[in-house]
């Protein structure tokens, strides 16, 4: 047995200036998602105004790219990182991770400049490959608790394939339905993950905070939410609005039990609580849509900007800080980004729901605020994501 000299370090510290963009899944995909969205959203505002044109209908391109481009990149980056923590097994790093990032980039370019079969093939590859890799890690570790999350990633892959088959005319399905279904899947994933981490983050940061949680109630709220989103995506009709209202009420009670008010002085926490509250708000707006009271876009953007955008900006700051060895503290840049995304959500939803004459202005205002928020993230976190952890540890 070899002996370790007392004057030798037992661990190797990675120099802080080491290029580490591909050291762990969150690094390239968080950065790519932020940089992509800060460009794609202003471009969409120009498409919406008729200044630019896309190869496929503009609304299809916009919705697809924010779901299967932006959100999918963050989801994969998060799951590859969390998967290593959950299972203790390695997820892609180095050249394999760089290849996956290149595949994602190819999909974005293909969707920007083409709407044909070649573009579909270039785009559709990314999610199935990532889902296979993630599920293989779960199976090897027998992480049964997370099989469901791996399954959702697989279903999201199928939804992307369905979108391309629909927009190419291979199947007689409205492409927007596949996109709504995919948005519902992402919201479902968000509320499952949030139920695990948001109360935990809150309890860890605010010692002695009072919270109420019940596993059976959580499952009920998640189940009704899943049913409401599926029924909405399938355009089940006015009766399905009642399911959405029940889901919203359950989610309000569930989220209220996490004690969001106690987090008002901690930006790294309140962004997650406020963003998750957009899920029940969005469900109520979807119910109003199904009753013919509001345009569909109001509920869609409550879920897409308020919930998804808010939770993403909150999680990609928090997890990037933690996994690069930094203090879990939101500074002025992070706080500004959080506020900008939330104002963008309010502006987009409010103008659609209450001030239709200002809808175009709402699109441009929301797009500008969103772009600034994610540009701030890209600027602030570029050195964090491309350089080694400050504590010299791998990852």
Which residues on adjacent β-strands are paired with residue 387? Answer: 19
Per-residue pLDDT of 173-200, as tens digits, reads: 999 999 999 999 999 999 999 999 999 9
Exposed/middle/buried for residue 108 (C-beta within 10 Å: 0-12, 13-18, 19+): buried
Residue 114: the pLDDT is 81
CB count within 10 Å of CB 173 equals 14
Per-residue pLDDT of 298-353, as tens digits, reads: 999 999 999 999 999 999 999 999 999 999 999 999 999 999 999 999 999 999 99
pLDDT at 370 over 80: yes
Per-residue pLDDT of 42-76, as tens digits, reads: 999 999 999 999 999 999 999 999 999 999 999 99
Q: Say which residue the tokens 């308020």 belong to.
A: 306
pLDDT at 8 over 80: no
CA-based end-to-end distance of the chain:
29
Residue 140: the pLDDT is 94
Q: How confident is the model at residue 1 (pLDDT cuts 50, 70, 90)?
A: very low
Residue 116: the pLDDT is 87
188-215 burial by CB neighbour count: b if 16+ within 10 A, else e?
bbbbbbbbeebbebbbeebeeeeeeeee
Give the mean pLDDT of 242-252: 98
Residue 327: the pLDDT is 96
Residue 11: the pLDDT is 61
pLDDT at 5 over 80: no
Domain residue spans of the chain: 21-173, 208-385
- Whether residue 304 contacts residue 367, with contact meaning beta carbons closer than 8 Å, is answered with no
Residue 7: the pLDDT is 44
């Amino acid at each position: 047995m070899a002996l370790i000299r007392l004057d030798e370090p037992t661990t190797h510290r990675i120099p802080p200036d080491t290029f580490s963009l591909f050291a762990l899944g969150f690094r390239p995909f968080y950065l790519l998602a932020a940089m992509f969205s800060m460009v794609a959203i202003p471009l969409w505002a120009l498409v919406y105004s008729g200044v630019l044109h896309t190869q496929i209908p503009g609304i299809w391109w916009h919705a697809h790219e924010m779901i299967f481009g932006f959100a999918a990149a963050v989801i994969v980056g998060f799951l590859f990182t969390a998967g290593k923590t959950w299972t203790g097994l390695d997820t892609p790093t180095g050249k394999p991770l760089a290849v996956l990032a290149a595949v994602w980039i190819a999909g974005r370019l293909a969707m920007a400049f083409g709407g044909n079969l070649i573009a579909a093939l270039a785009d559709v590859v990314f999610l199935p490959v990532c889902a296979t890799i993630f599920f293989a890690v779960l199976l090897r570790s027998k992480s049964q608790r997370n099989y469901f999350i791996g399954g959702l990633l697989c279903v999201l892959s199928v939804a992307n394939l369905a979108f391309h088959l629909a927009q190419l005319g291979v199947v007689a399905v409205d492409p927007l339905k596949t996109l709504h279904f995919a948005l519902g899947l992402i919201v479902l994933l968000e509320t499952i993950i949030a139920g695990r981490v948001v109360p935990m983050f809150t309890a860890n940061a605010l010692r002695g905070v009072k919270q109420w949680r019940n596993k059976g109630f959580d499952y009920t709220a998640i189940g009704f939410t899943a049913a409401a989103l599926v029924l909405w995506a399938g355009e089940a009709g006015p009766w399905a609005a009642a399911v959405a209202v029940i889901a919203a009420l359950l989610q309000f009670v569930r989220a209220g039990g996490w004690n969001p008010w106690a987090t008002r002085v901690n930006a790294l926490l309140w962004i997650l609580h406020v963003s998750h509250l957009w899920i029940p708000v969005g469900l109520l707006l979807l119910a109003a849509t199904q009753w013919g009271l509001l345009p569909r876009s109001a509920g869609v953007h409550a879920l897409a900007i308020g919930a998804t955008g808010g939770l993403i900006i909150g999680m990609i700051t928090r997890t990037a800080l933690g996994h690069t060895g930094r203090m879990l503290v939101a500074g002025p840049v992070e706080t500004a980004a959080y506020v900008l995304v939330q104002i963008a959500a309010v502006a987009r939803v409010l103008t659609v729901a209450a001030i239709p004459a200002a809808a175009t202005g709402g699109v441009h205002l929301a797009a500008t605020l969103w772009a600034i928020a994610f540009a701030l993230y890209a600027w602030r976190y570029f050195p964090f994501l491309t350089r080694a952890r400050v504590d010299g540890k791998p990852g």
